[in-house]
Structure 1
């Protein structure tokens, strides 16, 4: 069958794959990137499909799903505004109700009026379609505040499920109005509040506006431990995923209210990328019980000296108290002896995915210790002694690819062959300081 004779449904799947297949997207030079595209790094564009032939043009224009995910990157000209308007128009074809996913990043004006005016036109066009918003992500500078005032008049929103906002020098009133408008949606389930919200704003603004008891996913740039626990206690029956870039110590003069104990019944995934003044991190673990926890991500580990003394102790107590079956774990400091000792605990015996993000390239002896521990077999059970259910292992910045392969072979032998081994994928980055990765897919081995 010739491609021009394909049924519309098949053609639609091909087009959708072309526009939205993220794994095949490559990094794009930002200076040459299209200002309007489906994603920040897209090299495929639905407009290209309309230039092939008359059939493809009419088909692509009639498919709102090709146009309803819009990334507007640093709009700076009327041409960019027209393209944004074109995408909105085509995403509304048919009944005009197809849900929108919008990512809009403002260009810093640096005193120039044109980028600010063009950005304002884009925001006006986006607000005109507020009844179709499903997901929205914004990066905003202070001079954009007036453009959002029409949004406050049309709220409550009805279909918004997720919003993400990063602010740069917005005043508290504007911030309050914008977050309140987003939180007016009864469909809201996911919130990310990034840079630009300090602790005073978090304490006096966000807590009184965000409907914590309806949310399943939360992401923050920075939180104090007391704010973190307060949020958890307000969403203990609904929250499933929470991520914090930095868990910070209270600033001088801030409240030091005692942290209560909290049981999160449904929390499955917890990520804390970095601790500052680490003693507060262990105190946070001490207050939590997470019976449904399946994924724990600590990409910077317990690198703070203040936290190293109690970090692992508090973490193990959390896992034991929660009686959870942790399946995915990421950890990132260089204290390998402690890591090995603790990963041998029965508390990690259900682990299937392990990511070690510490810089082991400069610690070859520590890496060998880790690989030796992963290679050790238990003759009584005919399986590896450490992490027997491990399926995926991600090692960042390791030193020796041969030692990684030897570890894999040892684990396979412990199970009696490739067919019985649990390990299915191993990836190690920047081996021997060269820019390539060792990636072993073991699914097809016999």
Structure 2
């Protein structure tokens, strides 16, 4: 029987002083045994960890391979900060997996932030971004913007490669009607930013929107931007005059269907632009012409949105002469005369206008009335003439029309179009659901 047991078996009468002394000895022995137990538990944990490492195939792999496996386990391009989501979930499996995850900066190089978030989120965000090390960052934002979180993000702008902003109206009217995406900061250059996407929820009454100067400032700070999409319905405070903003690396620029988008377009000079999608809601004929004149871009893909119904053919033709490199052209909602004049010009001047055009699309929207000229035998003859003259160059022609479309090609034109399709030209005439040539 050990000494501790003897403390309890002793029956000799003892004084209070002796009993206090014995209690002190027992307490000391208990503390000693606790320390021994802690050491044993630690030893067991270390041995267990070694055993887990022996049994765990991931832990036995070289770090480069196990890290790549973890990276491939990401199910979303922009994971969210949460204990149930990878990569955070990997931290809770075991110490070996946690060490691998923390040692893999690419796991933390992307994040989606859906506002609003609790105040404690900011500390977690800082930790997340630090774990990314020197990796280029990809950040996606949605919801009602939190300037405090924004300031954290802008502290890491030197590593930002992809940024997507899709914000909503602030339900608190005291917070103002303009989204301050720069969060009151003056961020430095964004030398690695390649992709910028800015969305905005529908705002029919124009009560809130993005700051136009801040969008332009973001573009100015991103000299190496390659792709930009702006799809917002309200932009506030764009200046009446501004020095043109040159972005020499921008290759693809897309605007949505909203009215305010194209206001920003007027300030840009893009000498290496290859793809341009315009809503044309607020772009006049001379705006496009002046842009092409000041930029001289090697444009290959041009989409002119619903607003192109206001475009005059002589201005469009003048603009197209400035981009002989164009291979794809799409007009959404063009007026009847614009389509017919363009088709006639393509047939009459195969080397004079758009000499490299390969793909041509007309998206004829449902108008208040359908002109008798569109869909008439003369119209289809013009279509056939242009396709026949350009058959060695044009590989794709699409004419989308409303569902209740009463005019189809006549049998002779239909047969000629079928022959062109058999010879290799892809021709689509019909609705989104059905191509009449394939019936």
TM range (shorter): 0.5 to 0.7
Q: Per-residue CA shift, 1:158-200, capped at 9, x if unaligned? A: 3x3221113334777962248865x644211222233389788
TM-score (norm 2): 0.59
In structure 2, what is the Cα distance between the partners aligned to 1:353 and 1:313? Answer: 21
Q: Per-residue CA shift, 1:230-261, capped at 9, x if unaligned? A: 68x4225322221222454999xxxxxxx78x
TM-score (norm 1): 0.59
In structure 2, what is the Cα distance between the partners aligned to 1:410 and 1:374? Answer: 13
In structure 2, what is the Cα distance between the partners aligned to 1:201 and 1:355? Answer: 34
The yes-or-no answer on 1:392 pairing with 2:367 is no
Alignment of structure 1 residues 28-177 onto 2, 5 Å: 63-68=69-74, 70=76, 81-86=83-88, 93=101, 96-98=104-106, 102=110, 104=112, 106=114, 116=118, 123=125, 126-131=128-133, 132-142=135-145, 144-153=146-155, 155-158=156-159, 160-168=160-168, 169=170, 175-177=181-183
The answer (yes or no) to whether the contact 1:240–1:266 under 8 Å persists in 2 is: yes
SS for the counterpart of 1:243 is strand
How many equivalent residue pairs?
343
Equivalent in 179, 190, 212 of residue 202 of structure 1: 212
User: Gaps (5+ residues) in structure 2?
Assistant: 1-55, 92-96, 347-352
In structure 2, what is the Cα distance between the partners aligned to 1:221 and 1:227? Answer: 19
How far does residue 275 in structure 1 lie from its aligned partner after superposition?
0.9
Equivalent in 210, 222, 229 of residue 219 of structure 1: 229
User: Gaps (5+ residues) in structure 1?
Assistant: 1-53, 110-114, 252-258, 431-435, 442-446
Q: Equivalent residue for 2:291?
A: 288
Task: Report the structure number with the largest CA radius of gyration.
Answer: 2
Q: Equivalent residue for 1:338?
A: 338
Q: Per-residue CA shift, 1:79-111, capped at 9, x if unaligned? A: x6422444676897596143767463626x6xx
Alignment of structure 1 residues 334-413 onto 2, 5 Å: 335-346=335-346, 347-360=353-366, 363=370, 368-369=375-376, 372-373=380-381, 375-377=383-385, 384-385=388-389, 389-394=393-398, 395=400, 397-399=402-404, 403=408, 409-413=415-419
Q: Equivalent residue for 1:269?
A: 275
SS for the counterpart of 2:249 is coil
How far does residue 288 in structure 1 lie from its aligned partner after superposition?
1.9
In structure 2, what is the Cα distance between the partners aligned to 1:60 and 1:402? Answer: 62
How far does residue 392 in structure 1 lie from its aligned partner after superposition?
2.8
In structure 1, what is the Cα distance between the partners aligned to 2:240 and 2:342? Answer: 26
Deviates more, 1:210-219 or 1:120-129: 120-129
